[in-house]
Chain A
Amino acid sequence: MIPEDTVVDPMYFVVLATILFSIGAVAVLLRRNAIVALLGVELMLNASNLLFVAFARSHRDVSGQALAFFVMVVAAAEVVVGLALIITLFRSRQTISLDEPMDLRG
């Protein structure tokens, strides 16, 4: 079992995860490069993973660690679809800037 003194207050992890999550969210919302936006999403998902693992340790409950694995698999699947879409878009337009392709308005 985990010795008592090695357990860090989970609130530190909440703060760290929130910072990572916010950086990711800002990247998605403000950066105009589709790849960077995708990176931002990954950062957000991993911030949640950090929380799951930290809480699993402080709750002494392994299920939280198992949840992190599920999230990783889903994140990988999401990247596959995302990159495929970005590549098709790049082939048709020679750009992946989110400001350029603007035919849909209103």
Chain B
Amino acid sequence: MTFESPIIEWAPLAPVLIVFAAAVLGIVIETADPKVWIRRRLQVALALVATLAAAATAALQWSVLDGDGTRVVVDRIICDRHSLIWMVMIAVFAALAILLFSSRVGGDDAFAPLAAAAPGSEEEREASEKGLAQTEVFPLALFSVGGMMLFTMVSDTLILFIVLELISLPLYVLVALSRRRRLLSQEAALKYFLMGAFASAVYLFGAALIYGGAFSTSFTIIDTAIVQYHGREALVLVGTVLALVGLLFKLGAVPFHAWTPDAYQGAPTPVTAFMAAATKAAAVAALIRFLYLAVHRFEWEIAPVLWTIAIATMLVGTVAAIVQTDIKRMLAYSSIAHGGFVLVAVTSFEREALSAAVFYMLAYGLATLGAFAVVGQVREVTKDGSLGAEATRLGQWAGLGRRSPWMATAMAVFLLSFAGIPLTAGFIGKYVAFKAAFDSGGWPLVVVAVLAAVVAVFFYVRVIVLMFLTPVPEDLKDAVEVTESTGPSLVVGITALATVLLGVVPSVVLDLASNAAILVP
């Protein structure tokens, strides 16, 4: 028995390798343990440079790519235009998220000074007074980003499992590290971990069954095996459904969405922004590759399941968002609904859907990062006059337009983009996504999607009314303050500008996205 070692094309892996190298370097910096302020600056600079360099390298590869794509590791990891455009998007989202990670309000960042100390304990108070900081969050985030970028290239069920865990494990830890409301944060992390591990295990069992039926874990071989091996299709089909559960979980599709509101509410807000924008984009990219390359011959069998899931996701996300009183939780349910909207496009199994999904996730991710950046700036004022935790109750947002006109206006732009109002990126995103589904005969799905989108306008506009048309309540006059720290203000500015630009002149990005609608098997 001999093993042939595969030939690996290293060059297309450059963006991913840059991020992983920076993550490892970050760990080395942690072990060298310099003074807190040096460590912080080093880590922030390293993470920002790495993510921006990764985005630039991926963009460079796009411009020099010969033909449709390169096979990096045989047919198991593939670098084509589709994966490159997702990689650029994820790296840019990550860079924006790093800016949020690094922001400090009143001298404190969003993360616990000493994660090992119990909340409210003497150790925690001491750690906080000494100004300790948990700068491990930067390398952890980088590992996750590297995984997400790799996720878009993977064309093999087992590598997909490993990368899925690579993305998730750092996220479980990051969710538990909130500085304020730590009990909530720890509970969210445990729930996210248990449900995430459960979904990964279901995915793996599916991959094992597919291996049994198709004799391989490669997407291309699975695709041909579905036609060739008569009598084993049942194994592959059952395996496919189980594997889809794992991927839909990451997307937060109903009925695998239960973790989303808890994790989004409990996590430190920068982490929520990162998870909501980047993880979801990576999940959509991998879902598309799996559906379109490995199991598209099961279209007739899977499509009804996916249709049901898409409809349930849109309805549950929209209806549950209406009754929320916490802004983070409301945005979490809204992100579930957006997962449903993008599924509407993906389930059409048409080439058009590939570019629609890219544009949709870009519009959604930008608005999400911006919205959570604003959430992180609205703070409660504690009794001794210092800035406390985030004011996430919707009541506390009343009259925000008067407290900080710029932040409130930007938030309004993001909410309008979520709602899909013309002249914002969200409108174009919804239009191309629904058009892709409509053109392939999925009109019943589009009807439900449009209805859900109309209902969703209600709760987005409600927040805008609350910010601009409701006066500041007397008892909350001094209890809430809007800070405008540099990092988050920059993120809010960039994302608001991009949201409007993509809504007014979408053609440049739409052209790029339609060039990217090629999957190399």
Contact between B212 and A38 (Cβ–Cβ < 8 Å)?
Answer: no
Contact between A48 and B208 (Cβ–Cβ < 8 Å)?
Answer: yes
- Among B1, B3, B183, B194, max chain A CB count under 10 A is at B194
- Let me know if A15 is at the binding interface, CB within 8 A: no
- With contacts A71-B204, A74-B162 known, is A37 near B176, CB below 8 A? no
CB proximity to B under 8 Å, residues A6-24: 10, 14, 17, 21, 24
Interchain CA distance A24-B176 in the complex, whole Å: 25
Residues of B within 8 A of A55 (CB): 208, 211-212, 215
Residues of B within 8 A of A14 (CB): 209, 212, 235
- With contacts A38-B194, A81-B193, A103-B183 known, is A47 near B205, CB below 8 A? yes
- Let me know if B64 is at the binding interface, CB within 8 A: no
The residue from B194, B204, B208, B329 contacting A37, defined by CB atoms under 8 A apart: B194
Interchain CA distance A19-B262 in the complex, whole Å: 31
Chain A interface mostly helix, strand, loop or mixed? helix
> Interface residues of A toward B: which range?
35 or more
Interchain CA distance A78-B216 in the complex, whole Å: 25
Chain B interface mostly helix, strand, loop or mixed? helix
Contact between B116 and A106 (Cβ–Cβ < 8 Å)?
Answer: no
CB proximity to A under 8 Å, residues B143-195: 158, 161-162, 165, 169, 172-173, 176, 182-184, 186-191, 193-194
Give the nearest-CB partner of A87 in chain B: B116
- With contacts A51-B209, A67-B211 known, is A85 near B190, CB below 8 A? yes
CB proximity to A under 8 Å, residues B261-278: 261-262, 265-266
Contact between B190 and A86 (Cβ–Cβ < 8 Å)?
Answer: yes
Residues of A within 8 A of B190 (CB): 34, 85-86, 89, 98, 101
- With contacts A44-B205, A62-B1, A85-B193 known, is A25 near B118, CB below 8 A? no
- Let me know if A104 is at the binding interface, CB within 8 A: yes
Contact mask for chain B residues 311-328; partner A; CB cutoff 8 A; 1 contact, 0 none:
000000000100110100
Q: How many A-B residue pairs have CB under 8 A?
A: 132
Residues of B within 8 A of A52 (CB): 208, 211
CB proximity to A under 8 Å, residues B451-466: none
Interchain CA distance A67-B217 in the complex, whole Å: 10
Q: For the complex, count residues of B whose C-beta is within 8 A of A.
A: 51
Instruction: Tell me how far the C-beta of A60 lies from the nearest C-beta in chain B, rounded to whole angstroms.
Output: 10
- Among B182, B205, B320, max chain A CB count under 10 A is at B205
Contact between B186 and A70 (Cβ–Cβ < 8 Å)?
Answer: no
Interchain CA distance A78-B192 in the complex, whole Å: 13
Instruction: Tell me how far the C-beta of A53 lies from the nearest C-beta in chain B, rounded to whole angstroms.
Output: 10
CB proximity to B under 8 Å, residues A34-76: 34, 37-38, 40-41, 44-45, 47-49, 51-52, 54-55, 59, 61-64, 67, 70-71, 74
CB proximity to B under 8 Å, residues A86-102: 86, 88-89, 91-93, 98, 101-102
Instruction: Tell me how far the C-beta of A55 lies from the nearest C-beta in chain B, rounded to whole angstroms.
Output: 4
- With contacts A62-B1, A103-B187 known, is A28 near B211, CB below 8 A? no
Residues of A within 8 A of B116 (CB): 88
- Let me know if B37 is at the binding interface, CB within 8 A: no
Residues of B within 8 A of A47 (CB): 205
Instruction: Tell me how far the C-beta of B25 lies from the nearest C-beta in chain A, rounded to whole angstroms.
Output: 21
The residue from B161, B184, B201, B324 contacting A104, defined by CB atoms under 8 A apart: B184
Contact between A24 and B201 (Cβ–Cβ < 8 Å)?
Answer: yes
Residues of A within 8 A of B200 (CB): 78
Residues of B within 8 A of A93 (CB): 183
Instruction: Tell me how far the C-beta of A45 lies from the nearest C-beta in chain B, rounded to whole angstroms.
Output: 5
The residue from B186, B209, B215, B262 contacting A89, defined by CB atoms under 8 A apart: B186
- Let me know if B207 is at the binding interface, CB within 8 A: yes
Residues of B within 8 A of A64 (CB): 211
Interchain CA distance A14-B209 in the complex, whole Å: 8
- Among B165, B173, B265, max chain A CB count under 10 A is at B165
- With contacts A77-B169, A104-B188 known, is A85 near B176, CB below 8 A? yes
Instruction: Tell me how far the C-beta of A76 lies from the nearest C-beta in chain B, rounded to whole angstroms.
Output: 11
Residues of A within 8 A of B3 (CB): 62
Interchain CA distance A42-B173 in the complex, whole Å: 19
Interchain CA distance A52-B215 in the complex, whole Å: 10
Residues of A within 8 A of B207 (CB): 48
Contact between B119 and A92 (Cβ–Cβ < 8 Å)?
Answer: yes
Interchain CA distance A34-B194 in the complex, whole Å: 8
Instruction: Tell me how far the C-beta of B191 lies from the nearest C-beta in chain A, rounded to whole angstroms.
Output: 7
Interchain CA distance A64-B165 in the complex, whole Å: 19
Enumerate 15 A-B pairs (CB-CB under 8 Å) in ascending A order: A17-B208, A34-B194, A41-B201, A44-B205, A47-B205, A55-B208, A55-B215, A70-B161, A74-B161, A77-B165, A81-B172, A81-B173, A92-B186, A106-B323, A106-B329
New A-B contacts (5) at CB < 8 Å, excluding given A71-B204, A82-B172, A101-B186: A14-B212, A84-B173, A85-B173, A92-B118, A101-B187
Please list the 4 inter-chain residue pairs (A to B) with the smallest Cβ-Cβ separation, ordered nearest first: A44-B201, A51-B208, A55-B212, A48-B208
